[in-house]
Chain A
């Protein structure tokens, strides 16, 4: 999975970041969840945020998506300081989050799910109706672009695999104008084949100029698509590396925070 010839990585040189998070701190009472994390994202880039459980990944992306307000630090979005009051502000600005637990309703058709909350309408005799024809056409088109063949737009989301559902959610976010896509562990519950489908989707989205923040604790998945890698540990940035500058082993060690895993990995024969 680590061979990267399948994906054309974004050319991220010379572009201004779409978002910059500078020295973000977040305290929950006496607990310091984030102790100065800096991070930036350029359009068309996949920036992986890695870290073990409890490293502060979730807190950090929640700060980016407007769920939490940072205790200290600055968010610069499109060259302007940004203060998100709630997630809606962030969504309107173009920051979409695809959660581990998806905003998909299994009993509803793909097309109804795709347009849920953003239904296209068509006026007939002054009454506005749900434009199902348009919704179906757009859905089929978007799904085809992402490489998912549906039986029809009426197919229920419940019949899709986990990876396909992730893809529908990503396609939806992009269709509705996301500039930054935050993917919270999109591959953690997926099988090998589904994972590669999702990684391929990330690559497609990136090539459309969307910046992707890919949260994972799986180094292999991250290395497969990432352009840059930032490792968090105990609420701090351990550094950002460009693709090609770091080996999987080094990343793994950084995430685990040092020596113990290196030794453990040795005894396990590099299978972790």
Chain B
């Protein structure tokens, strides 16, 4: 596309040719791609024998990465629209607890519990967004308030109702529920049995499950991550609404002058972020069979870090869902890889801080290239 248009116009002596390197640099995904290659190269070289690249190991870091991806997609679109949501972590805890209270304490059918929770959480997301666009306050401070409000309720409700901070027994009530299996089930079991039978992946060598593959299917969590990434990417780059997301974050006033419904875009993105957090929470609750008051702690920052590693600007108006997904992948691979490699886990935080700083500096430099600032 770009090449054909270029030749049609013909050369202009004032337009300096830019090198392919510089052209590649302004793609927001670049940092994420380079980082992904670097991280995989590192672990293939230094931790290949640690079990990280067996079927079980791959599934382990894939699940962790997919968790980051789900919340990163929401945070990414919201950040490009020019806002933050610091209440993501608390929303995860709150959503999980609501599902547990509805389904276990109140004995509602699990599918109703999940649906009501989604409606409730997305409404809270809308409220977040509504307050931000109406008051014009920074989303940082509004969602910080909700970080505490939601976490407070997440601890208060189970303590008042059940006198404990963890509600279990969800796996039993979710047995056979159609909607629960959309979040907690696995698919492709037959394929994995076939892989196991053909010695392509590891199988149990003794015990009751002898001969069965160690990894027996792809968790729905990973499917959700892939679906959300594709949805987010298509929405952002291929639709009219995507253009509005960029415009709202790039310069809200200029976008309004051109007839973009900035407020609606922002509120919808807050709702989408809340939706992603609820997907995360539902998958987690179905996997663990319980909801805990401390679930999702610090997830908001991890989502933002993944998005920033993925090349989005903190100031909005620029970024990529694919980049954010790669950021989440780097996050998951490094976190689990260090564990496999037997490195002290506290060093992970050091790594995180360093890579975050590097990414922000790189992004600022890239922005200067794009806008021609000096």
Contacts and interface: CB of A to CB of B under 8 A. Distances in A.
B238 interface: yes
A129 B238 contact: yes
Given A115-B243, A149-B12, A159-B372, A105 B5 contact: no
Given A129-B238, A159-B372, A140 B317 contact: no
B53 to A, nearest CB: 38
A149 B243 contact: no
Interface string B357-372: 0000000000100111
B5 A153 contact: yes
B9 A136 contact: no
B255 A117 contact: yes
A27 interface: no
Contacts of B5: 136-137, 140, 150, 152-153
Interface string A115-135: 111110100000011101100
Contact of B238 (A91, A118, A132, A156): A132
Nearest to A144: B9
A132 B255 CA distance: 19
A159 B15 CA distance: 10
A72 interface: no
Interface string B185-224: 0000000000000000000000000000000000000000
Q: How many residues of B sit at the interface, in one of the four size bands?
A: 35 or more
B172 interface: no
Q: How many residues of A sit at the interface, in one of the four size bands?
A: 35 or more
Q: Tell me the dominant secondary structure on chain A's binding face.
A: loop
Nearest to A133: B1
Interface in B223-257: 238-240, 242-244, 246-247, 250-251, 254-255, 257
A151 B18 contact: yes
A115 B247 CA distance: 11
A107 interface: yes
Given A116-B255, A132-B238, A150-B9, A105 B247 contact: yes
A153 B317 CA distance: 18
A158 interface: yes
Interface stretch (A16-24, A96-104, A215-223, A263-271): A96-104
A119 to B, nearest CB: 4
Given A103-B257, A112-B247, A136-B1, 19 more contacts: A88-B259, A99-B257, A105-B250, A105-B251, A107-B246, A107-B250, A108-B246, A112-B246, A119-B240, A130-B239, A130-B240, A130-B242, A132-B1, A137-B5, A149-B11, A153-B2, A154-B2, A156-B371, A158-B370
What are the 5 A-B residue pairs with the smallest beta carbon separation, nearest first? A158-B371, A149-B12, A105-B250, A117-B259, A117-B258
Interface of A: 88, 91, 99, 102-108, 112, 115-119, 121, 128-130, 132-133, 136-137, 140, 144, 149-154, 156, 158-159
